[in-house]
Amino acid sequence: MKKNSGILTVILVFALLLSVTGCSKKDENSLVGIWEYTDAENGLGAIYDLKDDGTGTYTMKVGEQEVTYELKYEVEDGHLLVRFVNNELFSEDDVFDSEFSFKDSSTLIIKDSLGEEMSFVKQ
């Protein structure tokens, strides 16, 4: 179980430790919704459920296991700022910046710190 917990932590950090390009008010509103990433080859996945009040959840999937974290987010000066709440891994003071863009109205691209892109599809 500790190994799986470590893998989940790595995926979470991988997906969220990012730097942002820029974001307009339109982009901020476009973030609202459920966004799903699937890597079927490796049995990995992630789901952002972002509400219009600046709250939401982030669910990580590894095989059949899922872990969901509550979050608060805001867009400020072109940055998507995410804080996880009510969990043991991160303090609510920890803030994660995400670089993102939209391929189209139903595809959110998040770029990791190594320049790899993850495509989230709006559900």
- 94 burial class (0-12, 13-18, 19+ CB within 10 angstroms)? exposed
Containing 6, the helix (H) or strand (E) segment is helix 2-16
Task: Please say if the pLDDT value at position 76 is more than 50.
Answer: yes
More confident residue, 109 or 35: 35
Please name each of the domains of the chain with its CATH number: 2-122 (2.40.128.360)
User: What percentage of the chain reaches a pLDDT higher than 70?
Assistant: 72
- Structure-token match 């990012």, residue found: 18
Rounded to two decimals, the pTM is: 0.74
> Tokens standing for 103?
């391929």
pLDDT over 90 (residue 120) = yes
At residue 63's C-alpha, the angle toward residues 118 and 18, to 5°, is 25
For residue 58, what is the DSSP state? E
pLDDT tens figures, 94-116: 888 888 888 999 999 887 667 67
